Structure 1
């Protein structure tokens, strides 16, 4: 099982990668609150997606977040490292995403 610090670092790496993807694809009008729950650690993180970039990432949950990710700590590290495909993780239930259908479609462009 990964640690909370490793998960925090992985989310920061994901934020950097999303920023690169958003920059490469031009402006993406996608501003939403985001929360990531890591149930096996009892931890959560939240921030905002702003133009396809994660900003203001901090510890703690945001129950009002428009997009909620639920993923185990080890799976989070594998996903960010590129060893776990987001689509396959979602289809198999290893990654759960609670969001509107339109937000899911926009999020898919980023990942």
Structure 2
């Protein structure tokens, strides 16, 4: 099981990667959405803002309410960010749960 700090670091790595690829972000990624990431095994929630293909304002929060809600285990978060876990199979097997509209699901797939 990964630690809270490792999960937060993974989200910051994802934010850096998205920022570095900002100009190359797909057109559908150029939206503004609030994002929450609930790490089930650690009982922690991170929130942020997905804006124009960039992830900003990552912080711990008590309320997972957001336009796009991810729920996953700590190890799954690390694997997802590192690229060793693909979002499609993770959703199909229940390792990752997403609360979002179809358009936002496609957005997540293009970003991860």
Please report the TM-score for the alignment, with normalisation by the length of structure 1: 0.89
Poorly superposed stretches of 4+, deviation over 6 Å: none
Cα distance between partner residues in 1 of 2:91 and 2:22: 21
Aligned residues: 111
Unaligned runs of 5+ in 2: none
Matching of residue 66 in structure 1 with residue 67 in structure 2: yes
Unaligned runs of 5+ in 1: none
Please report the TM-score for the alignment, with normalisation by the length of structure 2: 0.89
Q: Give the CA RMSD over aligned residues.
A: 1.6
Pairs within 5 Å for 1:30-109: 30-109=31-110
Cα distance between partner residues in 2 of 1:61 and 1:101: 26
Instruction: After superposing the two structures, state which structure 1 stretch, 84-93 or 36-45, moved more.
Output: 84-93
Equivalent pair of 2:68/2:100 in contact (CA under 8 Å): yes
Summarize the Cα distance change of 1:4–1:18 in structure 2 as closer, same or farther, 3 Å threshold. Answer: same
Cα distance between partner residues in 1 of 2:18 and 2:86: 15
Cα drift, residue 26 of structure 1: 6.1
Summarize the Cα distance change of 1:22–1:108 in structure 2 as closer, same or farther, 3 Å threshold. Answer: farther
